[in-house]
């Protein structure tokens, strides 16, 4: 039997994951390379891609937590 606190966490993680997935989809996949170049030639990190990568990592973490709750190993 699943504990109520575990169910609450799962619901919270699912909601956060869904929100982040929507945010990631809204960002799209177009890189803004014009933001990547300084006058002196040093490249900037593409901030949009950085944001997308951070969202992907957090979505992966949440998915792993949800799986642990579902399998009872949380």
Of 73, 71, 59, 70, nearest to 7 (Cα)? 70
The mean pLDDT value for 45-63 works out to: 85
pLDDT at residue 26 in the model? 84
The mean pLDDT value for 3-32 works out to: 83
Count of Cβ atoms closer than 10 Å to residue 69 Cβ: 19
pLDDT tens per residue, range 22-34: 988 888 765 554 5
**Lowest mean per-residue pLDDT among 22-26, 38-42, 48-52, 62-66:** 38-42
Between 51 and 43, whose confidence is greater?
51
């Amino acid at each position: 039997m699943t504990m109520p606190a575990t169910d609450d966490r799962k619901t919270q993680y699912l909601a956060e994951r869904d929100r982040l997935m929507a945010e990631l989809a809204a960002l799209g996949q177009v890189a803004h390379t014009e933001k990547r170049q300084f006058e002196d030639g040093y490249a900037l990190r593409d901030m949009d891609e950085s944001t997308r990568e951070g969202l992907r990592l957090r979505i992966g973490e949440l998915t792993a937590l949800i799986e642990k709750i579902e399998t009872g190993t949380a």
